[in-house]
């Protein structure tokens, strides 16, 4: 049986570890609590229409299917809810977004997500300001922290967990090593040559009236009976600044579609997303050291894409099924020389 070391237990490390375990591999996970981990702050929102252009993420059906199968099993095993389906109110910022939404309503996909236009009455009733109107659609949310807690407990129970930072000598103890280190790939001696584009993001935890899940690009997500989370921001410089006053002001300004003055700030957090230059994950085998793999680059959409891509990496490792060109690290081989 192939023995595997997974380096990092954020969302990507946890999911690849259990995916390979489900295929019968002997998987050990190490976690070194590197600051600014994305999974520790992310809200886990899965939104079918993203960005100012309200584009549909590629392979959204495959992603949702993979998530549903996987988390359903975890929910049954733990008797705990991890994966939620919810209605999302998308507040338009421009006339163009309203027009795009009207076009979306005629597409196949929109019927799957029960996409519709909100009436003026509905918008007013929930207390939102939306001069260009708003749409309603289905969305999903993964409780990332709850999942990571269960995953860690399971690995510990099977003696497959060590709390430690990676050391080079460890790769000799396993058949293969998979690095799932998030933004800390910048310190990885084997894979730091790949074109990552990390981005720091901040979120606020707010206490105030209960409002529904809504977003105008900046989202507001009810979290418990009183609390909500809101965010986020993007910056590519000064990544390790932690939460900033500027970030907080930006989120408050962008939440102008809510009665924001009725909310009290209870917490302010930040993390670093491990993005990539072409916005696709970077997955695969090291070009020169065949026992080393990378599983990284999930940017701002890890809750949507990680499980589907974990299946692909598993099939690549076990069945030698080639990876799709758009995620395979070899897409950079001609452009960037691997120095190792």
Ligand X SMILES: Cc1cc2nc3c(=O)[nH]c(=O)nc-3n(C[C@H](O)[C@H](O)[C@H](O)COP(=O)(O)OP(=O)(O)OC[C@H]3O[C@@H](n4cnc5c(N)ncnc54)[C@H](O)[C@@H]3O)c2cc1C
Residues in contact with ligand X by CB under 6 A are 7-13, 30-34, 37-39, 41-45, 165-166, 180-184, 201, 203, 231-232, 271, 273-274, 296, 298-304
Which of 168/320 has CB closer to ligand X? Answer: 168
Cβ 239 to ligand X shortest distance, Å: 10
* Cβ-based nearer residue to ligand X, 263 or 298: 298
> Pairing relation of β-strands 292-296 and 282-285?
antiparallel
Collapse the DSSP code of 31 into the 3-class scheme (helix H, G, I; strand E, B; otherwise coil) and give the result. strand
Q: What is the nearest approach in angstroms of ligand X to the Cβ of residue 80?
A: 19
Q: How far is CA 45 from CA 42, 77, 238, in A?
A: 8, 23, 25
Decide whether 13 or 135 has the Cβ nearer to ligand X.
13
Q: Is 208 exposed, middle or buried (0-12, 13-18, 19+ CB in 10 A)?
A: middle
Would you say 184 or 216 has its CB closer to ligand X? 184
The residue (of 12 and 250) whose beta carbon lies closer to ligand X is: 12
Nearer to ligand X, 133 or 243 (CB): 243
Categorise residue 182: left if φ over 0, alpha if ψ from -120 to 50, beta otherwise: left
**Which DSSP symbol is given to 97?**
H
Contacts of 5 by beta carbon, 8 Å cutoff, 6+ apart:
27, 28, 29, 30, 170, 171, 173, 174, 176, 177, 178
Tokens for 53, please give them.
């252009």
Close Cβ partners of 241 (under 8 Å, ≥ 6 residues apart): 200, 270
How many other CB atoms are there within 10 angstroms of residue 143's CB atom?
A: 19
CA 103, 107, 109, 112 torsion-angle sign: positive
In the complex, what is the shortest distance from the CB of residue 219 to ligand X, in angstroms, rounded to a whole number?
7
Residues in the chain, overall count: 340
Q: Give the nearest distance from C-beta 56 to ligand X in angstroms.
A: 15
Q: Select from 231, 243, 329 the least CA-distant residue to 282.
A: 329
Residue (21 or 133) nearer to ligand X, CB: 21
Give which of 93, 72, 94 is closest to 83, Cα–Cα.
72
CB of 272 to ligand X, least distance (A): 6
**Cβ closer to ligand X: 38 or 123?**
38
Helix (H, G, I), strand (E, B) or coil at 161: strand
* CB-based closest residue to ligand X: 10
CB of 157 to ligand X, least distance (A): 20
Residue 23 beta carbon to ligand X: minimum distance, rounded to whole angstroms? 20
Minimum gap (Å) between residue 169 Cβ and ligand X: 13
Alpha-carbon span 230 to 113, nearest angstrom: 23
């Amino acid at each position: 049986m192939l023995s595997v070391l997974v380096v990092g237990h954020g969302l990507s490390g946890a999911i690849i570890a259990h995916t390979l375990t489900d295929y019968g591999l002997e998987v050990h996970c190490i976690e070194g609590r590197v600051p600014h981990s994305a999974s520790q702050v992310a809200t886990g929102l899965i939104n079918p229409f993203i960005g100012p252009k309200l584009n549909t993420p590629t392979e959204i059906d495959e992603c949702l299917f993979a998530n549903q199968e996987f988390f359903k099993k975890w929910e049954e095993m733990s008797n705990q809810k991890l994966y939620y389906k919810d209605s999302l109110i998308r507040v338009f910022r421009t006339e163009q977004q309203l027009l795009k939404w009207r076009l979306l309503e005629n597409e196949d996909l929109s019927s799957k997500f029960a996409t519709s236009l909100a009436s003026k009455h509905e918008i007013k009733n929930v207390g939102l300001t939306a001069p260009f109107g708003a749409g309603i659609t289905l969305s999903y949310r993964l409780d990332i922290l709850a999942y990571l807690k269960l995953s860690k407990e399971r690995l510990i129970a099977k003696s497959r967990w060590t709390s430690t930072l990676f050391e080079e000598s460890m790769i000799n103890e396993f058949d293969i090593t998979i690095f799932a280190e998030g933004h800390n790939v910048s310190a990885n001696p084997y894979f730091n040559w790949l074109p990552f584009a990390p981005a720091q993001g901040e979120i606020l935890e707010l206490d105030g009236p209960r409002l529904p899940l809504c977003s105008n690009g900046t989202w507001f997500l009810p979290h418990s009976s009183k609390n909500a989370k809101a965010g986020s921001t993007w910056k590519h410089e000064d990544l390790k600044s932690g939460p900033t006053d500027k970030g907080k002001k930006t989120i408050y300004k962008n939440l102008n579609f809510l009665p924001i003055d009725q909310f009290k700030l209870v917490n302010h957090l930040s993390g670093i997303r491990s993005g990539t230059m072409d916005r696709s994950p970077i997955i695969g085998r090291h070009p020169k050291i065949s026992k080393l793999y990378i599983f990284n680059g999930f940017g701002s959409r890890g809750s949507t894409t990680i499980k589907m891509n974990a299946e692909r990496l598993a099939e690549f490792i076990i069945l030698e099924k080639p990876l799709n060109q758009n995620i395979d690290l070899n897409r950079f081989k001609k452009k960037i020389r691997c120095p190792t």
